[in-house]
Chains A and B, each alone.
Chain A
Amino acid sequence: MRHRVPLFHTFLKAIERMPESLIAIMDALPYLLQGSIVTLIVVVGAMGLGFALGAPLAVGQVYGHPVLRRFIAVYVWFFRGIPLLVFLFLFYFGLCTALDINLSAFTVAIIVLGLISSAYQSQIFRGSILSLPEGQLKAARALGMSDFKAISFIILPQALRLSIPGWSNEYSILLKDSAVTYALGVAEIMARSHFVATRTYQHLPLYFAAGVIFLVLTWAGTKGLRLLEERARIPGYSPHGL
């Protein structure tokens, strides 16, 4: 009973500050939205790089020579095992400086997120490849296809379709992970909201706005991949008879 009064006061205070908060958000919004474009480029770039590396890694891990499989298993272990922040610093402040490579924080963000994503995506694709019936490869070989052709024309087109739900997951994880690149100074959503918040002392509204932007981006991306899944669906094919 007793603490109701202060709580009520706090609530009133928050209401009083509402217009002020709204103004702070409105002022910062264009700046934050520009950041969301940076975020999206980083995420889409990383997903693309992760795909370009992850698909061959998956094929290698399923069909490759035992030595190659071993190597890929180590690769996956390596990139899944090191925390993102450690990796970003290692690459940007460590490797780039040591080897005197001049890469922008933005580029490093895409490369590092892409490398990590390739490890995760390879496992998504590997699962899809393994879930295909063995007969698909046999039938392709029986026609005289080389393994390379069988994988390119028969296995991957089916495996990639099955991978879209996993991708959706990967997208939302990448989106959130991209906020960590703020530590390198990439001008994405998080960096910009932090910048405005510390200058205007409007912490609550600005991080709130950042959160909402992330939610909208997650929603839009997941929705887009859902549509892709629907479009790529094989007619008549319904795994659970639905």
Chain B
Amino acid sequence: MTAPILRIENISKRYGKKDVLKGASLDVKKGDLKILIGPSGAGKSTLLQCINFLVKPDEGRIWLDEQEVHYANKRDLYAYRQKVGMIFQDFNLFDHLTALENVRIGMVRVKGMGKAEAGERAVLELERVGLKEHMQKYPAQLSGGQKQRVSIARALAMDPRVMLLDEPTSALDPELIGEVHAVIRDLGNNGMTMIMATHQIGFASSLASEILFMEDGRILERGTPDKIFNHAENARTQEFCSKITELYGERG
């Protein structure tokens, strides 16, 4: 058995009196695509943000490449975050920068690369997501699907070991979802390791190496897409899956 790239152990998070995460654990191997599903408020976003410490977990430990991450140490934290790409539901492109500058800024300001070299790499990444001709546009001049693809290029430019995607298509019109899915599918085919929260179960079941069903701060059930969608053991998983199949169309 190969060692996991990312190892998440017993992550817990409390907001006031509310336990939002109650000990979530997860091993991710190279090339895995783990899909988080579950009802609204289950804690999917909180878990993803705990993984790169945008939200500080109250308990739990994380290892990347078998090195434990000590997030209290700022240097460790910044180095770790460079290796963990994050894609947000509402894109969060830097509004005052062009697509090219959005992709370049991490390389220049965090990795300390030269502007020219970083610019070349940024063009490559934008080309990869099919946006080379839009590289001089500002976020406000791009469609939602284009914005999300820029944000994927921005994350890829940092050469991440793992990508976290938090409902990358749920703010998009149906006709724009496909273009973002195509980019993610491409990433998966090229061996990118990913953890993604989504409600798009058709897409999820065609790509996922494992589906994790979350509810109420816990990962209740996990397994192959076939197991979770067709032979779930937990009644809550079955109920959720049949509801979401109705909403988001056929699995396949």
Residues of A within 8 A of B63 (CB): none
| Residue among A135, A158, A234 making CB contact with B88, cutoff 8 Å | A135
Q: State whether B94 touches A136 (Cβ < 8 A).
A: yes
Mark contacts of B80-107 with chain A using CB atoms, 8 A cut-off: 1 yes-contact digit, 0 otherwise. Answer: 1110111010111111100000000110
Q: State whether B140 touches A144 (Cβ < 8 A).
A: no
Instruction: Please provide the chain B residues from 43 to 57 with a CB less than 8 Å away from any CB of chain A in the complex.
Output: 49, 52, 54
Report how far A157 CA is from B102 CA in the complex, Å. 14
A133, A158, A234, A238, most chain B CB atoms within 10 A: A234
Whole-angstrom distance between the Cβ of B98 and the nearest chain A Cβ: 9
Whole-angstrom distance between the Cβ of A19 and the nearest chain B Cβ: 56
Q: State whether A154 touches B94 (Cβ < 8 A).
A: yes
Residues of A within 8 A of B79 (CB): 144
Report how far A145 CA is from B138 CA in the complex, Å. 21
* Nearest CB in chain A to that of B94: its residue: A154
Residues of A within 8 A of B49 (CB): 138
- Tell yes or no: A86 within 8 A of B by CB: no
Residues of A within 8 A of B139 (CB): 236
- Tell yes or no: A142 within 8 A of B by CB: yes
- Tell yes or no: B182 within 8 A of A by CB: no
Report how far A70 CA is from B23 CA in the complex, Å. 36
Mark contacts of B137-160 with chain A using CB atoms, 8 A cut-off: 1 yes-contact digit, 0 otherwise. Answer: 111110000000001001100100
- Tell yes or no: A220 within 8 A of B by CB: no
Report how far A143 CA is from B159 CA in the complex, Å. 11
Q: State whether A138 touches B94 (Cβ < 8 A).
A: no
Q: State whether A139 touches B95 (Cβ < 8 A).
A: no
Q: State whether A144 touches B78 (Cβ < 8 A).
A: yes
Q: State whether A235 touches B140 (Cβ < 8 A).
A: yes
- Tell yes or no: B74 within 8 A of A by CB: yes
* Nearest CB in chain B to that of A237: its residue: B140
Q: Known contacts A138-B54, A153-B105, A236-B141: does B110 contact A144 (CB below 8 Å)? A: yes
| Residue among B80, B95, B109, B155 making CB contact with A158, cutoff 8 Å | B95
Q: State whether B82 touches A143 (Cβ < 8 A).
A: yes
- Tell yes or no: A80 within 8 A of B by CB: no
Residues of A within 8 A of B86 (CB): 138-139, 142
Q: State whether A136 touches B92 (Cβ < 8 A).
A: yes
Report how far A237 CA is from B138 CA in the complex, Å. 8
| Residue among B84, B109, B154 making CB contact with A145, cutoff 8 Å | B109
| Residue among A136, A146, A158, A234 making CB contact with B140, cutoff 8 Å | A234
- Tell yes or no: A226 within 8 A of B by CB: no
Residues of B within 8 A of A142 (CB): 52, 54, 81, 84-86, 155
Report how far A235 CA is from B141 CA in the complex, Å. 7
Q: Known contacts A157-B96, A161-B96: does B74 contact A146 (CB below 8 Å)? A: yes
* Nearest CB in chain B to that of A159: its residue: B96
Q: Known contacts A145-B78, A157-B96: does B140 contact A139 (CB below 8 Å)? A: no
Residues of B within 8 A of A236 (CB): 137-141
Report how far A102 CA is from B149 CA in the complex, Å. 61
Report how far A237 CA is from B95 CA in the complex, Å. 8
- Tell yes or no: A223 within 8 A of B by CB: no
Q: State whether A143 touches B154 (Cβ < 8 A).
A: yes
- Tell yes or no: A33 within 8 A of B by CB: no
* Nearest CB in chain A to that of B53: its residue: A141
Residues of B within 8 A of A234 (CB): 95-96, 138, 140
Whole-angstrom distance between the Cβ of B138 and the nearest chain A Cβ: 5
Q: State whether B92 touches A135 (Cβ < 8 A).
A: yes
Report how far A138 CA is from B55 CA in the complex, Å. 10
Report how far A149 CA is from B108 CA in the complex, Å. 11
- Tell yes or no: A140 within 8 A of B by CB: yes
Residues of A within 8 A of B74 (CB): 146
Residues of A within 8 A of B81 (CB): 141-144
Interface contacts beyond A138-B86, A141-B54, A142-B155: sample of 10 additional A-B pairs, CB < 8 Å, sorted by A? A136-B94, A142-B84, A143-B81, A143-B110, A143-B154, A144-B79, A144-B82, A145-B78, A145-B110, A236-B137
- Please, could you name 16 A-B residue pairs with CB atoms under 8 Å apart, sorted by A? A138-B86, A139-B92, A139-B93, A140-B94, A142-B52, A142-B81, A142-B155, A143-B105, A143-B106, A143-B110, A144-B78, A145-B78, A145-B106, A145-B109, A145-B110, A153-B109
Interfacial residues, chain A to chain B (CB-CB below 8 A): 133, 135-136, 138-146, 149, 153-154, 157-158, 161, 234-238
Closest 5 CB pairs of A and B: A236-B140, A236-B141, A144-B82, A135-B92, A139-B92
